[in-house]
Amino acid sequence: MALHVALRHVTEYHYDRRVNLGPQVVRLRPAPHSRTPVLAYSLRIEPEGHFLNWQQDPQGNWLARLVFPEPVTHFRVEVDLVADMAVVNPFDFFLEPAAEQWPFEYDTALARELRPFREVEPAGPRLRAWLDALPTTPQQIVDKLVEVNRALLEDVRYVIRLEPGVQTCEETLEKRSGSCRDSAWLLVNVLRHMGLAARFVSGYLIQLVPDGPPQPGLTADFTDLHAWAEVYLPGAGWVGLDPTSGLLAGEGHIPLACSPEPGSAAPVTGGLDKCKVEFHHEMVLRRVVETPRVTAPYAEAEWQAILAAGDAVDARLVADDVRLTMGGEPTFVATADPDSAEWH
């Protein structure tokens, strides 16, 4: 039962004159640890005549480093990928016994490796008050993470914010609203103050119209750039938490870049000459393979075609005088009454 979707993502900048571009870094290739299988991927860059080198940063993210030797009038990035939307159980992971209950301590070697993901600045008054309101009694770690994730969902209203950058934790808590990147960065800081290693994630979010009752506000398949957080749990590795939905990351979350700081996870970074810019952004999602499944069986026309094929086979068997018989002994015998005539 396969469900494959094709995602097309175009980012385009048009300049009012020919400009020099500094090295551009594009972080739009699914990260190696993506739990959603990516069956095909391509990256196309315009204008031609550039140099492209693939690199991996210290977190293992794929970076496309672009160099344009000549001045340009536009810069276009086009991503096409095909993803297998097989259902992912976000709770399907193993935990080391020492990490099953919060709070816990990372062992010395692991704590040293995770140091960049545990660095925190002193909490402001609003963040401190929010942390102090959390129960401090020992609790199963998964239950604790679900509780904190949902608490942020209830306290921070999601808004579409077009201004650049990420709000501070104090700004988000003061406004009680923020974009996905604001909520994700707030969750990262909350987790770090709880003694957990956490990082910021930028990626694609794919939401498909469910086979069953429709979800409020989701009338068509949808995709967009999104941000969430990941926490490191010994035994499980990095586990995704999405404070915008209050859920753990599933098959619809495709990470592109994970970093200790949001600035290192931006989709495109680089410098250019001073100029006026027209920006165009487009994302398209379509289903390319969709086999019948329990929740979305054959359509009526398909089912009638299957029945017609069966009738045609039956007609040929009769016309060719093909007869079906049963030979040998039955392979089934009732345990309750094995001596009945039908078994002999």
Of 71, 24, 31, 62, the C-alpha closest to 45 is 24
Of 212, 161, 210, the C-alpha closest to 183 is 161
Determine the 3-state secondary structure of 256 from DSSP. Answer: strand
Measure the CA dihedral 210/211/215/221, to 10°.
40
Determine the 3-state secondary structure of 309 from DSSP. Answer: helix
Name, in order, each residue with C-beta under 8 angstroms of 168's C-beta and a sequence gap of 6 or more.
124
Longest alpha-carbon distance in the chain: 94
Q: What is the CA radius of gyration of the chain?
A: 27
pLDDT tens column, 322-340: 987 766 665 677 788 888 8
Strand segments, DSSP code E, in 151-215 are: 157-158, 177-178, 198-207
pLDDT at position 343 is 72
Mean pLDDT of the chain: 93
User: For residue 273, which phi and psi values (nearest 5 degrees)?
Assistant: -65, 155
How far is Cα of residue 247 from the mean position of the Cα atoms in its chain?
A: 12
pLDDT tens column, 101-147: 999 999 999 999 999 999 998 999 999 999 999 999 999 999 999 99
Q: How many CA atoms lie within 13 A of 164 on its CB side?
A: 5
Query: What's the one-letter identity of residue 315?
Result: A
- Tokens 């600045």 map to which residue? 121
